[in-house]
């Protein structure tokens, strides 16, 4: 039902708008883009940056358009001389307390502050003076925090606490010295940071960036004594085009070609690893359903979830699948099976994961995971390397993956979207359990961006209830429900909003785009689903190269060898930091 329209005036022009929205929302719909910085549609209203101020007749002060509701007869001015100057002053104040080193900054040309300064028409520094001084925190293998670049918009703080409910980030000190830090000012590596990298995604500047391994990788690529093997995740091919100004699109073949041009000897598909994961995971599920192990079984391929589990949900460790992530399975197979094939010492092989994820860098550093991935770079890092190496991506002839670990099913492709792992697992588990062919293999009810999704599948007359959750905040909510009253057999968890397509290593949002915009996430996911649709092999267990791997090397799913190479374990970690609403703390 729509309410009766109300009349407002923007810059003296009358408009009819729906009541109950903010000035900014109304203005957006009418085609006025009021500049903004701390505002994010998915996060709570902060009202902190004051960039979106407008003049409202009859109000003593300027009004933050992000938070103030429209009222009947309201006369709003977005562009007067006075408000433009006030806004420019505010952006200038932000800029004056920010390192003036754009040309050596990671986010040069892709920085919201830079763009804003340009839009404001800043020509001069009127008020420059002291600048806050803080050390860079480079302790974490995933996330680098540079407080000097922080402009205190608070998007990371809200992302970390409201969407991810990790509550790692908060403000410290007051006034000019205000700074965003992990609880108790711990080094990032010791904090409760799950390495999901969502703070990087929402940061307008370079206050949060991934730990950059591009120089190390260039060095390795120049080392002729090594065999350089790359494998990239499903979501990388869907989103990498965005780093080159394109819409989400499948650039798999172009990326394979570019990686070879960069100097990789072999380019494999992490989707192969995904198929392998499904083989192991589906078996594990069926074993648990038949009474061997705890239910519900929870997926384990999201690295941020892995850390979150150990810190915040250690009571559920036994519920989580022991399967390694597709990336780690890939590296394990590369350094054993593939090394055997090449008849090379595994130590000569460098396994490089190209991931949409910052937490995968953390996963690769976990001592429990051996053999591990040697270098993990994000979509953003590889995009930069391709640009830096002068490769005319994406306008290059496409190439195919190297064989042996280059063939994948449609099930492996959809791994990158929330619900995809579940869907892939159900396709295989159903057929393994019932021995029948699953007719309708598209589980649309677990696709999409709803926080918690549910489905039921009947296998041999037994109802299997599953749930799918994305974002660590939704995960915590679902797990609380499970603790109270579990009705599920199988739960898929992806730590990032939208799943891996919304990973912390994906390209930054473009001009005037909103980080983690749902439309953008949907488009990326759609790329993966369309890859699945056109594949002839859409079930992991039908992947002939996976079958060959088991036949030649691993034996059966969950065999001793498979267990040794493809499975891992978890340890409860004492959470350090403040965790509100936590069952253990309570």
Using CB under 8 A as the criterion, which residues of the chain lie in contact with other proteins when the complex forms?
A: 45-51, 53, 60-62, 64, 66-69, 85-86, 89-90, 93-94, 96-97, 126-127, 129-130, 151-152, 154, 170-171, 173-178, 580
3-state secondary structure 374-438: CEEEEHHHHHHHHHHCCCCCCCCCCCCCCCCCCCCCHHHHHHHCCCHHHHHHHHHHHHHHHCCCC
Closest residue by Cα to residue 163 from 415, 454, 518, 430: 518
> Per the residue annotation, which of 360, 409, 431, 492 is the catalytic one?
360
- One of 150, 160, 193, 500 is an active-site residue; which one? 500
User: Which among 374, 376, 371 has a CA at the least distance from the CA of 356?
Assistant: 376
Least distance CB 172 / other proteins (angstroms):
9
The smaller minimum CB distance to other proteins, of residues 138 and 172, is found at 172
Least distance in Å: CB of 2 to other proteins?
Answer: 22
Nearer of residues 20 and 555 to other proteins, judged by Cβ: 20
- The dihedrals phi and psi of 119, each to the nearest 5 degrees, come to -65, -35
- Quick check: is 500 catalytic? yes
CB-neighbour burial class of residue 426 (10 A; exposed 0-12, middle 13-18, buried 19+): buried
Question: Which residue is it, tokens 């391929």?
Answer: 301
66, 200, 201, 357 from 158: Cα distances, Å: 16, 12, 12, 20
Nearer to other proteins, 91 or 309 (CB): 91
Strands 227-232 and 143-145, sheet pairing = unpaired
Q: Which residue has the tokens 């830079």?
A: 114
- 75, 132, 261, 368: the active-site residue: 368
518: annotated active-site residue: no
Tokens of 489: 């057999």
Let me know if 242 is a catalytic residue: no
Catalytic pick from 301, 323, 357, 496?
A: 301
Closest approach of other proteins to the CB of residue 149, in Å: 15
Listing from the earlier edge strand, what are the strands of the sheet with 297-298? 297-298, 490-494, 462-470, 452-459
> Closer CB to other proteins, residue 47 or residue 346?
47
Rg of the chain (C-alpha set):
25
CB of 517 to other proteins, least distance (A): 23
| Comparison of 28 and 442: residue with beta carbon closer to other proteins | 28
Catalytic position from the list 284, 423, 431, 492: 284
Strand intervals (E) in 151-260: 169-172, 179-182, 208-210, 227-232
| Least distance (Å) between residue 187 CB and other proteins | 21
- Which of 210, 242, 281, 310 does the annotation list as catalytic? 281
Rounded to the nearest whole angstrom, what is the least distance from the CB of residue 35 to other proteins in the complex?
Answer: 13
Pick the catalytic residue from 321, 331, 372, 540. 321
Residue 561 in tokens: 């060898």
Please, are residues 249 and 242 in contact by the beta-carbon 8 Å criterion?
no
CA distance 322 to 99: 45
- How far is 191 from 220, CA to CA, in rounded Å? 31
Choose, from 55, 106, 280, 363, the residue flagged as catalytic: 363
Helix or strand or coil: residue 523?
A: helix
- The CB-of-117 to other proteins minimum distance in angstroms stands at 13
Is-contact 529 417, C-beta < 8 A? yes
Tell me 367's DSSP state: T
363 an active-site residue? yes
Report in angstroms how near the CB of residue 584 gets to other proteins at its nearest: 18
Question: What tokens does 130 get?
Answer: 């002291």
Between 56 and 359, CB nearer to other proteins: 56
Nearest residue to 419 via CA among 528, 518, 317: 528
Nearer to other proteins by Cβ, of 181 and 467: the residue is 181
Between CA 431 and CA 420 the distance in angstroms is 17
- Contact call for residues 278 and 413 (beta carbons, < 8 A): no
Structure tokens at 288: 């648990």
Q: Is 140 a catalytic residue?
A: no
Report the distance separating Cα 469 and Cα 478, nearest Å: 8
Q: Which is nearer to other proteins, 128 or 392 (CB)?
A: 128
- Known catalytic membership, residue 281: yes
**CB of 59 vs other proteins, minimal distance in Å:** 9
Q: Which is nearer to other proteins, 130 or 135 (CB)?
A: 130
Q: Active-site residue 284, yes or no?
A: yes
Instruction: For residue 512, count other CB atoms closer than 10 A to its CB.
Output: 10
Active site residue 454: no
Active-site annotation, residues? 281, 284, 301, 321, 360, 363, 368, 500
């Amino acid at each position: 039902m729509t309410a009766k329209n109300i009349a407002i005036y923007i810059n003296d022009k009358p408009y009819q708008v729906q009541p109950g929205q903010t000035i900014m929302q109304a203005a957006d719909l009418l085609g006025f883009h009021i500049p903004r910085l701390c505002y994010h549609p998915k996060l709570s209203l902060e009202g902190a940056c004051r960039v979106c101020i407008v003049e409202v007749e009859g109000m003593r002060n300027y009004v933050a358009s992000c938070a103030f509701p429209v009222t009947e007869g309201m006369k709003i001015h977005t562009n007067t001389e006075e408000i433009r100057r006030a806004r420019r002053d505010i952006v200038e104040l932000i800029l004056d307390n920010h390192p003036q080193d754009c040309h050596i900054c990671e986010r040069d040309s892709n920085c919201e502050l830079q763009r804003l300064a340009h839009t404001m028409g800043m020509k001069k520094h009127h008020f420059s003076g002291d600048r806050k001084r803080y050390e860079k925190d480079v302790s974490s293998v995933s996330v680098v925090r540079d407080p000097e670049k922080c402009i205190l918009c608070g998007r990371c703080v809200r992302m970390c606490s409201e969407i991810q409910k990790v509550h790692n980030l908060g403000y410290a000190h007051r006034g000019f010295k205000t700074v965003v830090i992990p609880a108790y000012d711990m080094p990032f590596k010791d904090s409760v940071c799950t390495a999901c990298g969502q703070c990087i995604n929402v940061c307008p500047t370079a206050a949060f960036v991934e730990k950059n391994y591009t120089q190390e990788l260039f060095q390795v690529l120049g080392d002729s004594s090594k065999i350089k093997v790359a494998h990239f995740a499903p979501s990388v091919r869907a989103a990498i085009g965005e780093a080159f100004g394109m819409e989400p699109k499948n650039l798999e073949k172009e990326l394979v070609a570019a990686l070879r041009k960069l100097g990789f000897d072999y380019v494999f598909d992490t989707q192969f690893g995904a198929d392998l994961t499904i083989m192991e995971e589906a078996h594990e599920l069926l074993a648990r359903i038949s009474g061997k192990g705890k239910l519900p079984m929870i997926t384990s391929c999201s690295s941020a979830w892995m850390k979150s589990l150990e810190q915040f949900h250690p009571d559920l460790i036994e519920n989580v699948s022991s399967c390694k992530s597709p990336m780690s399975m890939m590296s394990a197979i590369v350094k054993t099976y593939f090394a055997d094939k090449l008849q090379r010492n595994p130590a000569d092989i460098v396994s490089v994961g190209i991931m949409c994820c910052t937490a995968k860098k953390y996963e690769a550093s976990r001592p429990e995971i051996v053999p591990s991935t040697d270098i993990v770079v994000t979509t953003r890092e590889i995009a930069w390397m391709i640009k830096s190496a002068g490769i005319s991506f994406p306008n290059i002839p496409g190439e195919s993956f190297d064989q042996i670990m280059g063939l994948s099913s449609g099930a492996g492709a959809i791994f990158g979207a929330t619900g995809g792992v579940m869907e892939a697992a159900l396709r295989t588990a159903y057929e393994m359990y019932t021995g029948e062919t699953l007719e309708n293999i598209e589980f649309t009810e677990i696709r999409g961006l709803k926080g918690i999704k549910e489905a039921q599948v009947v296998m041999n007359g037994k109802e299997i209830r599953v749930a799918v959750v994305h974002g660590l905040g939704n995960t915590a909510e679902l797990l609380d429900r499970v603790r109270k009253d579990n009705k599920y057999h199988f739960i898929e968890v992806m730590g990032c909003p939208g799943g891996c397509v919304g990973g912390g290593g994906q390209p930054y949002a473009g001009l005037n785009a909103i980080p983690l915009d749902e439309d953008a996430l949907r488009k990326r996911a759609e790329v993966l689903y369309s890859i699945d649709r056109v594949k002839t092999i859409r079930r992991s267990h039908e992947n002939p190269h996976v079958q060959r791997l088991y036949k030649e090397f691993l034996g059966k799913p969950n065999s001793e060898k498979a267990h040794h190479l493809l499975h891992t374990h978890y340890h409860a970690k004492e959470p350090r930091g403040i965790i509100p609403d936590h069952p253990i703390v309570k």
